[in-house]
Homo-oligomer: A and B are copies of this chain.
């Protein structure tokens, strides 16, 4: 069967991913190393993600703020542990002026060298910590719950659009608390918020759990993640939430006077999701005809395509389509007004149809002159694109009938996309492996998309964990996380031979 993309998932998953992004006009390389241009359809999805996530953040009583792009070098020097972890590859600003080089070009002005270099923020714990140390004085100021929507830069050597770019967009929550219990409650609240966002908004099933010690955010006491399975069986870490203990508070001096008058260090947390989520959406829902966008995050949920013929009939056809658009826009689905576009642009109807198929708009309505005359619509569900015979699955309906069920259709698509992804994920979580040889054999098999292996292990730490990490690394595997609130386990850890204490997921990952 012929598909809209030039490469299929089974032929070459990585090339397919790039092709979806190009054909859906989501983003492109910018010509600036490691940075992408996010185009209207990709940015529209990000705006939807922002809107839905921001509502969740605000509902939790977290206040949005904005902190500086630049962080003085000395802030990093204070936090050696932080720097050792990931902060070495960063964009460093050393000058604040350009001058002519006398040869028609421009160079940084040696006279305008900064006394102290500035780092373009890779994350904002340090600079927000400084602000918190000013804002927190007494137990009455706690908890302090802040968030910012911002761009951050990490100098990545190998980049892939949305998944790993030098500059990316994200939200970073930063909170300060009186004690461990309150900070841990917030850490897990953010984790659950991310799970709900991924599953309910993005229709992307995830496993929320704790990362192993070696995968913790540098300086964190505990790191939690949501992990999603992509269609190639790899894991995508789609959001993280960190309990930072008192280490960051100590470095930044975030102290409060307790009710008894004593000085206490705050316990802090941080949590973030980024434009990486869009990569997850593509690899969860895309098919060989392009993207499929879950209705909740679709910039347009329904596109109406009039089959214009450049003749006298066009006027009546457009009037019919405009009535349809108005009637849909006046309805609500999934708790918001339906987002519907009447695409009146010039161009062949089939070309326009396939452009919207590749963009993944949930419902496409093609309306011809005969439909208009007969009060009909021709409806295509993006998640049911073809009939068994390979034909495009347009379904003719009475306009009134369609209007009566458009909202529930969108709700059904949202649910179907989730169910499809969850069934695939569940089928690709394998539980038959019980020892290291089995693990090796499993991932050595000539399977393109091996999925994840669920194991029970002894939760090794330190050198014992490092041994496990190295063994897995040789197989290009990582421990993803330990699911929250899991049932007790039994048996023996395949790595250490000690009694197993908890489940983990082992997988290849992005």
Among A83-91, A240-248, A321-329, the one that faces the other chain is: A83-91
Given the complex, which residues of B lie within 8 Å of A119, measured CB to CB? Answer: 98
Instruction: Specify which chain B residues have a CB less than 8 angstroms from the CB of A87 in the assembled complex.
Output: 98
Given A30-B127, A31-B130: A98 and B69 within 8 A (CB)? no
* Chain A 61-78 interface 0/1 with B at a Cβ cutoff of 8 Å (1 = within): 001111111111100110
CB distance from A64 to the nearest CB of B (A): 5
Q: Check A32 against B127 for contact (C-beta < 8 Å).
A: yes
- Say how far A57's CB is from chain B's closest CB, in angstroms: 12
Residue A39 at the B interface, CB < 8 A? yes
Q: Which residue from chain B places its CB closest to the CB of A65 in the assembled complex?
A: B43
Question: Does A334 sit within 8 A of B, measured CB to CB?
Answer: no
Which chain B residue has the least Cβ–Cβ distance from A150?
Answer: B151
Q: Please, what's the 1-or-0 string for A441-466, where 1 marks a CB less than 8 Å from any CB in chain B?
A: 00000000000000000000000000
Question: In the bound complex, what is the Cα–Cα distance between A467 and B30 (angstroms)?
Answer: 44
- Taken residue by residue from 296 to 328, chain A's Cβ proximity to chain B (1 for < 8 Å, 0 otherwise) reads as 000000000000000000000000000000000
Q: Is the CB of B167 within 8 A of A70?
A: yes
A79 to chain B, nearest CB (A): 10
Residues of A within 8 Å of B, CB-based: how many?
64
Q: Looking at the complex, which one of B91, B99, B105 makes contact with A93 (CB distance below 8 Å)? A: B91
A33: B residues at CB distance < 8 A:
70
- In Å, the complex CA distance between A140 and B94 comes to 44
- Closest B residue to A76 by beta carbon equals B106
- A396: Cβ under 8 A from any B Cβ: no
- In the complex, what residues of B have CB within 8 A of residue A67's CB? 30, 37
Among residues of B, the one whose C-beta sits closest to the C-beta of A152 is: B69
Task: Report the minimal beta-carbon distance from A91 to chain B, rounded to whole angstroms.
Answer: 5
Kindly list chain B residues whose C-beta atoms are within 8 Å of the C-beta of A63: 40, 43-44
Distance in Å from the Cβ of A340 to the closest Cβ of chain B?
Answer: 14
Neighbour of A108 across the interface among B43, B64, B94, CB < 8 A: B94
Q: How many copies does the complex hold?
A: 2
Structural contact, B68 and A35, CB atoms closer than 8 A:
yes
> Are the C-beta atoms of B92 and A95 separated by less than 8 Å?
yes
Contacting residues, chain B, for A38 (C-beta < 8 A): 65-66
**Nearest chain B residue, comparing its CB with the CB of A148:** B43
Complex Cα gap A72–B31 (Å): 9
Contact B32 A68 (CB under 8 A): yes
Taking CB atoms and an 8 Å cut-off, the chain A residues in 144-189 that contact chain B are: 146, 150-151, 153, 155, 167, 169
In the assembly, what is the distance between CA of A320 and CA of B389, in Å?
Answer: 64
Q: Which one of B65, B117, B153 contacts A40 once the chains associate, using CB atoms below 8 Å? A: B65
Within 8 A of B (CB), among A392-440: none
User: CB distance B169 to A66 under 8 Å?
Assistant: yes
- List of B residues within 8 angstroms of A105 by Cβ: 77
For residue A44, which residue of chain B has the nearest CB?
A: B64
User: Is A373 interfacial (CB 8 A cutoff)?
Assistant: no
> Which of B97, B131, B151 is within 8 Å of A88, CB to CB?
B97
Contact A64 B47 (CB under 8 A): yes
Q: Please, how many angstroms separate the alpha-carbon atoms of A92 and B140 in the complex?
A: 42
Distance of A69 Cα from B169 Cα, bound (Å): 11
**Is A118 among interface residues, defined by CB-CB distance under 8 A?**
yes
A476 at interface by CB-CB < 8 Å: no
**Is A120 a contact partner of B106 (Cβ separation < 8 A)?**
no
Residue of B nearest to A68 (CB): B35
Given known contacts A32-B118, A127-B32, A167-B69, A99 and B88 CB-to-CB distance under 8 angstroms: yes
A55 interface residue (CB < 8 Å to B): no
B contact residues around A89 at 8 Å (CB): 96-97
Taking the complex as formed, is A346 at the interface, i.e. its CB lies under 8 A from any CB of chain B? yes
Distance, CA A366 to CA B108, complexed state (A): 58
Pair A65/B94 contact, Cβ less than 8 Å: no
Q: Of the candidates B70, B88, B91, B106, which one forms a contact with A77 in the assembled complex, judged by CB atoms under 8 Å apart?
A: B106
Query: What 0/1 pattern do residues 21 to 34 of A give for CB contact below 8 A with B?
Result: 00000001011110
Q: Is the CB of B47 within 8 A of A96?
A: no
Residues in B whose Cβ lies below 8 Å from that of A153? 69-70
Q: Which residue of B lies closest to A72 (CB)?
A: B32
- The 8 Å CB contact of A151, one of B47, B107, B151, B346, is B151
Query: Residue on B with the closest CB to A27?
Result: B66
B167 touching A68, Cβ below 8 Å: yes
Residue of B nearest to A145 (CB): B40
- Bound-state CA distance A12–B390 (Å) is 77
Contact A96 B106 (CB under 8 A): no
- In contact, A108 and B117 (Cβ under 8 angstroms): yes
Q: Which residues of B contact A150 (CB under 8 A)?
A: 151
Give 6 CB contacts A-B under 8 Å.
A30-B67, A31-B127, A32-B68, A43-B65, A46-B66, A97-B155
Other A-B pairs beyond A31-B72, A32-B68, A92-B108, 7, CB < 8 Å: A31-B127, A32-B118, A38-B66, A40-B64, A77-B104, A77-B105, A77-B106
